Amino acid sequence: MSVSAAPILITGASQRIGLYCAERLLDDGYSLIVTYRSEREGIERLQQRGAMALPADFSSEAGILAFIDQLKQHTDSLRAIVHNASDWLAEVPGEEAEAFIQLFNVHMLAPYLINLHCQTLLEHSTPADIVHISDDVARKGSANRPAYCASKAGLDSLTLSFAARFAPQIKVNGIAPALIMFNTDDDAEYRNKSLKKSALGIEPGPLVIYQSLRYLLDNPYVTGTTLTVNGGRHLK
């Protein structure tokens, strides 16, 4: 498939899966706009390769709308939006409401407002896609992090709603990963326990998410779908 001249927007691309997917898209010839909350070495690396990097604060409506205004100053079209920005907050006793609001803003309000306000940018590209990066935990809930889980489940619902709303011009899909890559400080006990939660029992690395993203971008007949990339956790 030919590469569009319109850029792909990836939110939260400074590290880990977001950074990996951004670098692979650059390898494949795509123009890229990425957002970051904190400056990291990965952002500098992307800029050196020609990506445009924009700071963004998705923790409030004002910050989200300010980013959208900034984005529109730099491009009049988008090939795709990949909503990868995420937060991982502990729900500390006495601070539950603040955590819930921030998680809601980052995982739901930001994609919601960006999708609405950037619809015209996407319609200037053919094909055009939106991809929400969700989480497999939304499938069964979480006793430890209900606010995080609820906000990701809400993102899955937005996938369905926007797919219906934007068809046929814009395809809207999601990816729901589980245990893609460990953190460097995860100990052996935690790693072994986590690997046993899936049928395949491996740490696949970020390539599997990029493969899923490319499938959704390249397939013209898939919308309103969330791809589960969990190694068979639902089988255990």
Tens-digit pLDDT profile for residues 105-142: 999 999 999 999 999 999 999 999 999 999 999 999 98
Locate tokens 């639902």: which residue?
A: 234
DSSP 222: -
Burial track 82-93 (b if 16+ CB lie within 10 A, e otherwise): bbbbbbebebee
Identity at 168, one-letter amino acid code: P
Region of poorest pLDDT, from 93-97, 109-113, 215-219, 229-233: 93-97
What is the value of pTM for the model shown?
A: 0.96
Whether residue 163 is predicted with pLDDT greater than 70 in this model: the reply is yes
Give the burial class of 2: count Cβ atoms within 10 A of its Cβ; 0-12 exposed, 13-18 middle, 19 or more buried: exposed
CA distance 158 to 115: 10
Region of poorest pLDDT, from 49-58, 185-194, 221-230: 185-194
110 contacts 63 by C-beta, under 8 angstroms: no
Task: Retrieve residue 208's tokens.
Answer: 């599997």
Q: What is the pLDDT of residue 107?
A: 98
Average pLDDT over residues 62-68: 98
pLDDT-derived band of residue 1, with 50, 70 and 90 as boundaries?
Answer: low
Q: What is the pLDDT of residue 3?
A: 78
Output the CA–CA distances (angstroms, integers) from residue 168 to 74, 128, 173, 223, 229, in the order listed: 26, 10, 13, 9, 26
- Average pLDDT of every residue of the chain: 96
CA distance 64 to 230: 30
Locate tokens 């989200």: which residue?
A: 64
Which active-site residues does the annotation give? 148
Percent of the chain topping pLDDT 70: 99
CA angle 196, 157, 176 (to 5 degrees): 25
Q: What is the pLDDT of residue 55?
A: 97
Phi, psi angle pair for 59, to nearest 5°: -80, -5
User: Facing residues of 36 across strands?
Assistant: 55
Tens of pLDDT, residues 33-46: 999 998 899 999 99
Tens of pLDDT, residues 171-200: 999 999 999 999 888 999 999 999 999 999
